[in-house]
Amino acid sequence: MSSLSRLTTPLNLWGASRRFQSALRELKPRRDAIRAMISEIETEKADIKPPFIDTHGRTHNYLRISLTEKCNLRCLYCMPEEGVALSPSANLLTSDEIVRLVELFASHGVDKIRLTGGEPTIRGDIVELVGRIRNIRGIKDIGLTSNGIVLAKKLRQLHSAGLTKVNISLDTLDQHKFMLMTRRNGFAKVIKCIELAETLFPMVKINTVVMRNVNDNEVNDFVELTKDRRLDVRFIEYMPFGGNHFSTKKFVDYKTLLTSISERYNGMIERLQDAPNDTTKAYKLTGSKGQFGFITSMSEHFCSTCNRLRITADGNLKVCLHGTAEVSMRELLRSGASPEEITEVIQKAVSRKKKQHADYRYGKSATYAKSTNDTYRRINRTHPVLSITSDLSSLLLPSTTSISSLRLCSKAADSPVYLSHVSKDGSAKQVDVSHKPISYREAVAEGKITLTPALVHLIKNNLSKKGDVLNVARIASVIGAKSTSTIIPLCHNIPISYVNTEFRLDESKGVLYIRSTAKTTSNTGVEMEALTACSVAALTVYDMCKAVTQQMVIGDIRLVSKSGGKTNYKGVSDF
């Protein structure tokens, strides 16, 4: 039988058919998967709407969203003289409203989201919000800009929820200067947060605002960090916004900084290729794991490639960080506007976007933009505010600014805040408390003093030649509390029923924590007595130890709790 006849026998034909059918069955899942992919692509194409393009041909695919106006730092360089008005909570965007806006922007080609503040980690639902944004079709990148104070507590959850990038603000590597610049002692928390972020993300960005005679001498120290760590340090030129008293005397352009770095690292600096729409001029040291760069908003703006839109915490759309024009997305959402109507408003706003922002360097703009709650830190009026340190305030504020006139409180736009100790004509007056009911009242204040190792040993072992440091400080705190009304002019002289001061020595940190409690049965509060007791205790420790060294720093004096009056308060305790 020929080979051809063997192939054409019924048995062989039946076998070939079986094999062919088997092959088809094996291919079916792949075929179905390909069909599903084609269907999904066609569906996505049908869902894709025209991108937001301005009249200068710039396509906007990057949306920055402020989650809150509040902040847990009090940075001097961004604090307006007249205070910062916080919007009523009802005016802030809800999570559902934020998600609706992201969905709308994503349908028009926005694929990159950055969450900012204020301090975004203050928002309680931030982890859930990141997860919801991650699930929106078209979103590829979710970033977060934070000061790092409480971020470490939520960072792992945020990473698991879908956070892809993190920027952490750090303006100094000196913990004492950090306290002066921010009026908070959170340096160690920020450093811990950066170290944790390095274990979760391929590269961690550090945002550093540079100011002359404040922190410009630390630029090379920041660059040094990039040698062995996956850090991207971005030096940001000091910029003006409404009320921060911008002064060219504090401005340092990036070329000056680059010259300083080049002198330190001669021949080791490489220029990197900047990504499209990047705001940073990027460099690295030869062989380093990290990199550094400059955000040159002032000296060489990058407006021509700007692809960013911003939404403030109260729901206003800003097409330019430095612009004053805003459009309320919140009102559109709450009035029942359709996605098409909202889209039309957004496109009109984008179409009015200018070619570039005003040139502040030469005074060509008479009106500075208000803070957008984006990059600049806000003031939380519910938290006690420390006074400005005189030596640093002279660097950060114009010489014409009166420290006594600088308001460190914020006020809501529709609910003015008045000082009860100031009359309508501006003169000082004591508050009349005669009509208030007498009640049991208690207040607790805390503070700390940073010590050298020698002083830690001296205090721990009670070796001071002046005597028992802590016992003397405790007695002094009682005397100080009872003398409050003679020190603070408008304080009432109230009967104090109890004062006690406790100490906790942390040898590993070299810090002595102080906690003072004051009690009274009166018609006014005892907060000032507690704060005075704590302050006097710290000063007494300083006086008892200054013969050994003056290298002590008193700080973080604050009210921790008060009760018994019209309003109660509960803060964070170190005890």
Query: Distance between CA 473 and CA 538 in Å, rounded?
Result: 7
Write the burial class of residue 347 (CB in 10 Å: 0-12 exposed, 13-18 middle, 19+ buried).
Answer: middle
User: Which residues lie closer than 8 Å to 290 by C-beta, 6 or more apart?
Assistant: 203, 225, 226, 227, 229, 230, 231, 232, 233, 284
DSSP annotation of 390: H
- Token pair of 451 as six digits: 């010590």
Among the listed residues 141, 174, 543, 574, the single catalytic one is: 543
Total Cβ atoms within 10 A of residue 557: 20
Query: Distance between CA 225 and CA 210 in Å, rounded?
Result: 16
Q: Residues 167, 294, 109, CA angle at the centre, nearest 5°?
A: 60
- Contacts by residues 548-552 (CB-CB < 8 Å, ≥ 24 positions apart): 548/452, 548/454, 548/455, 548/458, 549/452, 549/454, 549/455, 551/452, 552/449, 552/450, 552/451, 552/452, 552/455
Residue 357 to residues 7, 324, 551: CA-CA distances in angstroms?
80, 10, 46
Cis peptide bond prior to 118, omega within 30° of 0: yes
Total Cβ atoms within 10 A of residue 239: 22
User: Which residues lie closer than 8 Å to 569 by C-beta, 6 or more apart?
Assistant: 559, 561, 562
Query: Distance between CA 166 and CA 143 in Å, rounded?
Result: 6
Closest-CA residue to 245 (of 395, 117, 416): 395
Residue 351 to residues 61, 108, 197, 275, 279: CA-CA distances in angstroms?
15, 15, 38, 25, 22
Query: Distance between CA 196 and CA 181 in Å, rounded?
Result: 24
Q: Is 221 a catalytic residue?
A: no
Q: Which helix (H) or strand (E) holds 60?
A: strand 59-60
Q: Which residues pair with 519 in a beta bridge?
A: 442, 498
Q: Which residues pair with 449 in a beta bridge?
A: 512, 554
Cα four-point dihedral sign 558, 564, 570, 572: positive
Catalytic residues: 543
